[in-house]
Structure 1
């Protein structure tokens, strides 16, 4: 498979994985796994081997999300590609596979484990919420298996080189804190549709997710020139949010 085929396959498999947790042909998951640690993957040139190559190393990577957002840089597109492939593998039940665990570790290393606030883009952070939502251990204090040895992770301005231990629970807490942070002002999620944040939050049972969802239920970030496919995708998620809000009101009544 070419790198572009990897991303196309991940996007094709996702609706079934999202809605049923299954794929018609498990061999498709093997095809995704084969892209791990290949040239063109995020951080490959600096020794990272847990990320998935969705673009050739010599091309300018570009990516448009199903909800219509576009990656603004080559690095962001490669990170988003890795997150989208990892999301499929997690959702299909491969969270116990060491290769998928390694992929999750490298995803978290550049999103939720950096020091000094949020360094990844809001779009990348929102997409990575899916990994938290799909993690059956997200309340566990078990450490995330992150390989910190690559040169990519030795920048003291980005990571605390003396603190390398993060649990599933730690990541969940940071992700939920960000969701509330992002819900407060549009500027805190620049370049990211609310719908990209909303759907994984619907799967996280926590007061902070409810708080953020309540804000998003009253918000709108629809673009007048968004492609029809993106509008349909946002409409699908909006319907889920309306159903959630109605159910939440009934519980409080």
Structure 2
């Protein structure tokens, strides 16, 4: 009887464990916005560093991208912020504007509750708020997080072609991906079809937003690109 009891207990434990998934797939990193800010900028010696527009933030913020994605994944899997259960954590994966807004909102709440309820990194330690405002304003979801406007005095065409050359010349066509963000495709068809015009504008927008580095450039709002794209797709 002792052997039987022990065996049954072991079976019950095995069944209990198997009733739960061993692991849950994390969120797609490609859908997680870039911070746009690096930690440890201009430390004051008292634990403060520069965030967006020089706002003082903890020098430990933002966290490492891996740590952030792990925390975000845990929240999404739970359906709410693990450290602040009253905060929902939806993370839709489609390409709609509203889904991009929802993902950004969940990213912000995850950041702010990273180590506990209301204990994390401020939004000013990233460009998340600027990205969210851009999305709410109707700008297309960027392939990489846009940085605050800096040196955005170029003409709109400059993002799509090199200065001093004609946009129709084969030598001026962008490569298959943007030079500063290799993961972002950069197709640039030259025919006059409506779809090709849309594709060229989309590439122009991503080039603009990654002008000086991954996620470091000018927002779409610094041009009329979004309005032109809307006119074509509307």
TM-score (norm 2): 0.26
More strand by share: 2
Q: Which has the larger radius of gyration?
A: 2
TM-score (norm 1): 0.25
More helix by share: 1
